């Protein structure tokens, strides 16, 4: 453990501003004021991993005031006085997978999320890659959960009926780097417990990816890399939990946490007070806010943003797995540098990049980043160009200064469990993290009550049928039973009215344009919903019995329409 | 299995005209339409100005398509609406078409010839690389038109229109009449994209300003759009840093271009012209694949429906003739020089009995007092003077090749001289 | 001297208009309609109006309409107000008069879609 004074002087040498340090609960708290966000981050990074549990960065940045958390305006008492055994805060893949694993047990579980749907933040804003687990530092939580999560995904995808392609990934290297890289990478592979990787010679590259640029020294092939759909996976986890008796309350934000002695008694939300036996913090970019509410903020989240491009399916034939070319070395601290991914839906995805910025809920994109991503990655797949881009979006990673997952019971609050700091490869790690959280939670809960497994837990969840992938006879049969399956609404993605209605009435019901888009894809294609969006709106309006002006894109305030015409009468 | 001489994909103005022409030539004809109603995009184009050439009247879109729908329904032409084509395969001389609808589930249909009349789609705000958030309130002009004209809902209170294409201009007027404020129309090019008369009657009449050499670079608002960032652009249409200004609005209408829909053509490996974004065709509007014809906005984006119908007729007639009998084609190139945006057809079949060629072209730039010439083997085979040529205004010419003695190693060059 | 763009047809002729004593001189027009348009624009500009009216049918909530001639430009917004009060309660035919002789101009507002087809088609 380095002395605080040493850390302080290292910070003040490298950072513009005045920084004060103090120790609290084995963590370092940074206070003071710095000039820029870069300074803010740098200070946190210098203080990290110096033998303390965590870095709590409470500094101010000149001229910057953190905007308030976006909160639903609804206030009611639907949850007031509700007693549950476990309360999960956060409906990303981490929270939803935890809810599902806990739904195996004969206990009451409730998940709350402040958004209109699950998977609204990082879980719908990543590349869907199930990383092999080569990049995390050996011995880290990331390494452990990534490798384990990767292995678990085959079974999980089968149980939850979510497409998963274990294609492997091909990492291209320039000649000079390849020779040096292989032994380093292979040594790390062994330490992290991965399957064997393969050294691919230049002449073999085309065997793996016929359209890749093979004007390189060679490549490494990681056979265990898989691709799945991150938001479909999150929804599927959530749905399976709901099928098994768990509850999900959306548009529900945690406002405060009330403890007596070292135990949480109730959690106040905009829908009333919830009385849980155990609370799980899976709040993504707001995990430190939740910890603070519980008086246990021993870490800080700093939002690390990334942008992603999606290309037309037409170019899908150019790739069948994952392709990347690290610019310097594969072992780079913060960013994996992104790559090119063939999504399970057949599109090509490019990115993400990674950059520090202060906003936790800013999902805006920027031209310079879009250009940089294209310039960086397009050359390794020469058949693609900027004209193939059909959309782009941004996500924000919930990074801690320690750059590792926090998967543990709180040291100071008896009934609080953390699944925090879950950034990349968090999606790949979810099946393993959720099992570990399940174990910890059940352990904590067992001290308060008798806990037993459910007898009738059903691990299988059936997804909404994708008729475009069915054989003709099955498709005809299904259409005969439900004629709505024969009405194609989205022409780019070949999605029927029946599939849209299924999404509206699914176990985590949705009534937003984006919610339906994430579940069954209308609007994901090249016309970006130009033709089908009004149809989807009409279907939602009819199915839900709500006025068309009340239909939203993604929840409160995002209404598609303003008013009816001809109202002068 | 149902067998047809000609299957027309698309029941808009091109497809309706193609089906009528095919039927007229004795072809057993089927129209497949993915929407509930025939008429294509004209259903929602309630403004007038359609059919001046064809019917010598100023009709609205629904009237123009309505007349064709009536004619089709009177004739012995089969129609499948709410029907989606999932696959087309060429089997020997014939085509095997797989369709999906509620009535049959999945069904196969055989055709001797196919007419692609799929129309076009609108370029999106992502394709013009507008950055920022992804709020509600950003719609293509066609989507906004559907909301207002078909559903009877206003999607905005106050909007900005990006792009001075005709639909954008028409929607600016339409939204204004329905009570929405149109703050302005912004166009990245230094000249308008739409017809002059639409600028006069849709913008000038309502004092809606048109800002040339300006574009929308960014949008704001997490849930619903609350502002857009406008930037000036240079001659290459690149935004100039430092010229940004913020315009508060809750709507953005995109009229930034139309793209022919040719996913089916591409699935058949039919070669697409990068200039028109439609298939390469000969004067019979047959594509590179024997037996497949293309017309209307799927072939190239037209500004007048009258020409859409005309190309539908050419395609439909020749498809029916092809279904009856056909001989090998001998294609020669018809090249337009760089002063043209494009010219259609790109090939002439010198073996064809059809020797009266109808060609369409667009100038790349606005030019005064030009002569357009067709050259073959150094000789001028056609020449016409134009007072003014503008990119938004497509020109049509006809010429006869019967007396030209075209040889299969020759080519026709279209040139513009000032 | 004034310049106008003729809206009579897609040619969009650029017209030069000069008012001289009792005469209006028009040039730049490719057809007689251009002259007529220019003179109207000076004396009494007229426009046709296209819009929709409400219907009682849930599946076809709006019916497209237009004026079957041109009306003075000053009546455009008043006509919109009038159009917005109409509700069609039967399957109107294409060409059917929806509003007769609006503002005593002799111009009617007519239906431009065939509601029978639209209602049948959506079933």
Enumerate the domain spans of chain B: 1-121+258-326, 124-256, 330-418
Backbone angles phi, psi at B17, to 5 degrees: -65, -40
In this model, does residue B151 exceed pLDDT 90? yes
Task: Kindly provide the ipTM of the predicted complex, given to two decimals.
Answer: 0.97
3-state secondary structure of B325: coil
pLDDT in tens, A291-338: 999 999 999 999 999 999 999 999 999 999 999 998 754 444 444 578
Contacts with C7 (C-beta within 8 Å, 6 or more apart), sequence order: B197, B200, B201, C37
- Residue of chain C minimizing CA distance to B198: C7
pLDDT in tens, A486-521: 999 999 999 999 999 999 999 999 999 999 999 999
User: In which residue are the tokens 């149809």 written?
Assistant: A535
Q: Which residues of chain C are modeled with pLDDT < 70?
A: 122-123
Q: Is B96 exposed, middle or buried (0-12, 13-18, 19+ CB in 10 A)?
A: middle
Question: Does residue B206 belong to the interface with chain A, where contact is any CB pair within 8 Å?
Answer: no
Tell me which residue in B103, B132, B151 faces A548 most closely, judged by beta carbons.
B151
Count of C-beta atoms within a 10 Å radius of residue B130: 22
* Surface of B (90-149) touching A: CB under 8 A: 98, 100-106, 121-122, 124, 126-127, 129, 131-136, 139-140, 142-143, 146-148
For chain B, the chains sharing at least 3 beta-carbon pairs closer than 8 angstroms are A, C
d(CA C45, CA B18): 40
Is residue A520 within 8 A of residue A503, CB to CB? The reply is yes
d(CA C92, CA C96): 6
Q: What is the CATH number of domain A165-220+303-395?
A: 3.30.9.10
pLDDT-derived band of residue A569, with 50, 70 and 90 as boundaries?
very low
- Residues of chain C with C-beta less than 8 angstroms from the C-beta of B199: 5
Mean pLDDT, chain B, integer: 96
Task: Decide if A568 and C85 are in contact by the 8 Å CB cutoff.
Answer: yes
Beta strand extents in B255-366 (DSSP E only): 258-260, 292-294, 331-336, 340-344, 347-349, 356-363
The residue among A125, A240, A220, A130 whose CA lies nearest residue A179 is A220
- What class has domain B124-256? alpha beta
How is chain A split into domains, by residue range? 4-61, 165-220+303-395, 467-550
User: Prior bond to B123 cis, omega within 30?
Assistant: no
Task: Decide if C48 and B58 are in contact by the 8 Å CB cutoff.
Answer: yes
3-state secondary structure of B281: coil
A302 catalytic? Reply is: no
Question: Does residue B66 belong to the interface with chain C, where contact is any CB pair within 8 Å?
Answer: yes
In this model, does residue B70 exceed pLDDT 60? yes
Q: What is the β-pairing status of strands A348-351 and A355-356?
A: unpaired
- Higher pLDDT, residue C12 or A550: A550
d(CA A371, CA B106): 43
Per CATH, B1-121+258-326 and B124-256 having the same topology is answered yes
Residue C123 has a pLDDT of 44
Task: Decide if C14 and B66 are in contact by the 8 Å CB cutoff.
Answer: no
Residue A1 has a pLDDT of 67
Q: Which CATH fold would you assign to the domain B330-418?
A: Immunoglobulin-like (2.60.40)
Average pLDDT over residues A388-402: 98
Average pLDDT over residues A7-20: 95
3-state secondary structure of B17: helix
Tell me which residue in B66, B178, B201 faces C94 most closely, judged by beta carbons.
B66
The helix or strand, by DSSP H or E, that contains position A495, with its residue range, turns out to be strand A495-496
Q: Report the DSSP beta bridge partners of residue B416.
A: B372
Query: What strands lie across the sheet with B331-336, from one edge to the other?
Result: B347-349, B331-336, B411-417, B367-376, B379-389
Tell me which residue in C8, C113, C122 faces B36 most closely, judged by beta carbons.
C122
d(CA A530, CA B254): 11
Question: Does residue A568 belong to the interface with chain C, where contact is any CB pair within 8 Å?
Answer: yes
pLDDT in tens, A209-232: 999 999 999 999 999 999 999 999
Is residue B324 within 8 A of residue B5, CB to CB? The reply is yes
pLDDT-derived band of residue A181, with 50, 70 and 90 as boundaries?
confident
Residue A176 has a pLDDT of 83
Question: Does residue A567 belong to the interface with chain C, where contact is any CB pair within 8 Å?
Answer: yes
In this model, does residue A283 exceed pLDDT 70? yes
In this model, does residue B216 exceed pLDDT 50? yes
Give the architecture-level CATH label for domain A4-61: 2-Layer Sandwich (3.30)
3-state secondary structure of A393: strand
Residue A568 has a pLDDT of 56
pLDDT-derived band of residue B365, with 50, 70 and 90 as boundaries?
very high
Catalytic, out of A131, A258, A302, A366: A131
3-state secondary structure of A442: helix
- Residues of chain B with C-beta less than 8 angstroms from the C-beta of C49: 177
Q: Dig out the tokens for A42 from the structure.
A: 């740098």
Task: Decide if A569 and C87 are in contact by the 8 Å CB cutoff.
Answer: yes
Residue C107 has a pLDDT of 98
Least confident range from A38-42, A195-199, A426-430: namely A195-199
- For residue A312, give how far its alpha carbon lies from the nearest alpha carbon of chain B (Å): 11
Task: Decide if A565 and C87 are in contact by the 8 Å CB cutoff.
Answer: no
Residue A330 has a pLDDT of 42
In this model, does residue B378 exceed pLDDT 90? no
pLDDT in tens, A88-140: 999 999 999 999 999 999 999 999 999 999 999 999 999 999 999 999 999 99
Tell me which residue in C52, C62, C85 faces A569 most closely, judged by beta carbons.
C85
Q: What is the CATH number of domain B1-121+258-326?
A: 3.50.50.60
- For residue B19, give how far its alpha carbon lies from the nearest alpha carbon of chain A (Å): 22
Tell me which residue in B49, B149, B205 faces C64 most closely, judged by beta carbons.
B149
Q: What SS3 string covers B70-83?
A: HHHHHCCCEEECCC
For chain A, the chains sharing at least 3 beta-carbon pairs closer than 8 angstroms are B, C
- For residue B95, give how far its alpha carbon lies from the nearest alpha carbon of chain C (Å): 28
pTM for the structure as a whole: 0.96
- Is CATH 1.10.10.1100 the right assignment for the domain spanning A467-550? yes
């Amino acid at each position: 453990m380095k002395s605080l004074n040493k850390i302080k002087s290292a910070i003040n040498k490298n950072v513009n501003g005045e920084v004060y340090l103090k120790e609290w609960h084995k963590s370092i708290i940074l206070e003071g004021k710095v000039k820029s966000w870069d300074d803010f981050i740098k200070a946190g990074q210098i203080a990290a991993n110096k033998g303390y549990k965590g870095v709590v960065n409470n500094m101010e940045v000149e001229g910057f005031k953190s905007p308030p958390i976006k909160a639903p305006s609804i206030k009611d008492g639907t949850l007031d006085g509700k007693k549950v055994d476990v309360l999960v805060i956060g409906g990303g893949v981490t929270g939803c997978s935890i809810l599902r694993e806990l739904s195996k047990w004969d206990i009451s579980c409730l998940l709350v999320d402040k958004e209109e749907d699950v998977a609204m933040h990082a879980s719908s804003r990543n590349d869907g890659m199930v990383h092999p687990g080569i990049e995390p530092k050996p011995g880290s939580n990331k390494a452990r959960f990534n490798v384990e999560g990767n292995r678990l995904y085959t079974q999980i995808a089968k149980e939850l009926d979510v497409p998963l392609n274990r294609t492997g990934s091909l990492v291209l290297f320039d000649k000079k780097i390849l020779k040096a890289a292989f032994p380093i990478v292979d040594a790390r592979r062994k330490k992290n417990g991965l399957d064997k990787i393969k050294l691919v010679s230049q002449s073999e590259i085309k065997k793996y990816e016929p359209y890749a640029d093979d004007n390189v020294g060679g490549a490494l092939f990681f056979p265990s890399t898989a691709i799945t759909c991150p938001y479909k996976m999150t929804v599927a986890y959530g749905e399976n939990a709901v099928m098994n008796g768990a509850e999900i309350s959306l548009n529900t934000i945690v406002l405060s946490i009330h403890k007596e002695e070292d135990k949480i008694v109730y959690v106040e939300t905009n829908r009333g007070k919830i009385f849980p036996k155990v609370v799980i913090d899976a709040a993504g970019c707001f995990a430190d806010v939740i910890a603070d509410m519980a008086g246990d903020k021993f870490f800080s989240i700093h939002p690390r943003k990334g942008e992603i491009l999606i290309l037309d399916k037409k170019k899908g034939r150019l790739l069948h797995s994952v392709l990347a070319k690290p610019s310097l070395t594969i072992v780079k601290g913060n960013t994996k540098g992104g790559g090119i991914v063939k999504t399970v839906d057949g599109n090509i995805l490019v990115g993400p990049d990674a950059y520090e910025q202060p906003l936790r809920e800013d999902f805006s994109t920027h031209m310079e980043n879009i250009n940089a991503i294209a310039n960086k990655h397009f050359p390794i797949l020469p058949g693609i160009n900027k004209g193939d881009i059909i959309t782009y979006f941004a996500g924000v990673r919930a990074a801690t200064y320690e750059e590792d997952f926090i998967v543990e019971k709180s040291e100071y609050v008896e009934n609080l469990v953390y699944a925090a700091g879950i950034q990349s490869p968090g999606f790949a790690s979810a099946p393993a993290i959720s099992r570990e959280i399940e174990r910890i939670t059940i352990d904590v809960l067992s001290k308060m009550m008798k806990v037993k497994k459910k007898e009738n837990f059903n691990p299988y969840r059936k997804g909404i049928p994708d008729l475009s992938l069915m054989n003709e006879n099955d498709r005809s049969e299904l259409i005969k039973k439900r004629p709505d399956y024969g009405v194609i609404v989205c022409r780019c993605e070949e999605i029927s009215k029946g599939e849209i209605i299924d999404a509206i009435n699914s176990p985590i019901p949705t009534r937003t344009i984006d919610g339906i888009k994430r579940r069954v894809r209308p609007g994901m294609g090249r016309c970006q919903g130009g033709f089908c969006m009004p149809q989807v709106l009409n279907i939602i309006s009819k199915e839900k019995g709500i006025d068309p002006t009340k239909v939203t894109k993604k929840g409160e305030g995002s209404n598609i329409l303003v008013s009816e015409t001809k109202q002068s009468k | 299995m149902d067998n047809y001489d000609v299957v027309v994909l698309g029941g808009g103005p091109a497809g309706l005209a193609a089906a009528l022409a095919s039927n007229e030539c004795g072809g057993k004809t089927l129209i497949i339409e993915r929407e509930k109603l025939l008429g294509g995009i004209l259903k929602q184009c309630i403004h007038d100005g359609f059919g001046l050439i064809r019917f010598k009247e100023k009709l609205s879109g629904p009237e123009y398509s309505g007349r064709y729908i009536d004619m089709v329904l009177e004739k012995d032409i089969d129609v499948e609406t709410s029907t989606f084509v999932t696959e087309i395969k060429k089997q020997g001389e014939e085509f095997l078409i797989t369709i999906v609808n509620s009535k049959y589930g999945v069904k196969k249909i055989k055709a001797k010839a196919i007419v692609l009349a799929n129309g076009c789609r609108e370029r999106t705000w992502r394709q013009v690389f507008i950055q920022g958030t992804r709020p509600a309130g950003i719609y293509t002009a066609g989507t906004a038109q559907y909301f207002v004209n078909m559903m009877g809902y206003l999607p905005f209170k106050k909007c900005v229109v990006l792009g001075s294409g005709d639909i954008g201009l028409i929607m600016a007027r339409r939204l204004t009449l329905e009570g929405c404020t149109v703050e302005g129309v912004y166009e990245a090019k230094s000249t308008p994209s739409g017809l002059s008369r639409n600028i006069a009657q849709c913008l000038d009449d309502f004092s809606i300003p048109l800002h040339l050499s300006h574009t929308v670079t960014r949008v704001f608002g997490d849930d619903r759009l609350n502002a857009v960032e406008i930037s000036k652009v240079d001659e290459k249409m690149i935004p100039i840093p430092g010229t940004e200004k913020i315009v508060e609005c809750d709507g953005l209408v995109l009229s930034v271009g139309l793209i022919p829909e040719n996913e089916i053509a591409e699935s058949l490996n039919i070669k697409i012209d990068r200039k028109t974004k439609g298939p390469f065709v000969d004067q019979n509007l047959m594509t590179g694949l024997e037996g497949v014809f293309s017309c209307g906005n799927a072939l190239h984006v037209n500004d007048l429906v009258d020409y859409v119908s005309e190309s539908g007729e050419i395609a439909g007639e020749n498809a029916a003739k092809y279904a009856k009998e056909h001989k090998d084609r001998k294609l020669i190139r018809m090249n337009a020089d760089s002063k043209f945006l494009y010219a259609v057809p790109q090939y002439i079949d010198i073996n064809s009995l059809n020797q009266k060629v109808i060609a369409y072209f667009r100038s790349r730039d606005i030019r005064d007092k030009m002569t357009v010439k067709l050259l073959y083997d150094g000789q001028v085979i056609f020449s016409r003077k134009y007072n003014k040529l503008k990119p938004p205004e497509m020109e049509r010419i006809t010429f006869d090749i019967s007396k030209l003695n075209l040889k299969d190693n020759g080519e026709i060059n279209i040139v513009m001289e000032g | 001297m004034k310049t106008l763009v003729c809206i009579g047809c897609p040619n969009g002729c650029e017209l030069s208009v000069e008012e001289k004593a009792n005469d209006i001189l028009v040039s730049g027009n490719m057809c007689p309609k251009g002259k007529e348009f220019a003179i109207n624009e000076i004396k009494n500009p007229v426009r046709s109006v296209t819009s929709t009216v409400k219907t009682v049918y849930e599946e076809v909530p709006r019916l497209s309409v237009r004026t079957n001639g041109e009306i003075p430009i000053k009546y455009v917004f008043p006509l919109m107000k009038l159009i917005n009060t109409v509700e069609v309660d039967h399957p109107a035919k294409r060409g059917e008069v929806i509003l007769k002789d609006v503002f005593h101009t002799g111009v009617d507002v007519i239906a431009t879609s065939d509601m029978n087809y639209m209602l049948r088609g959506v079933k």
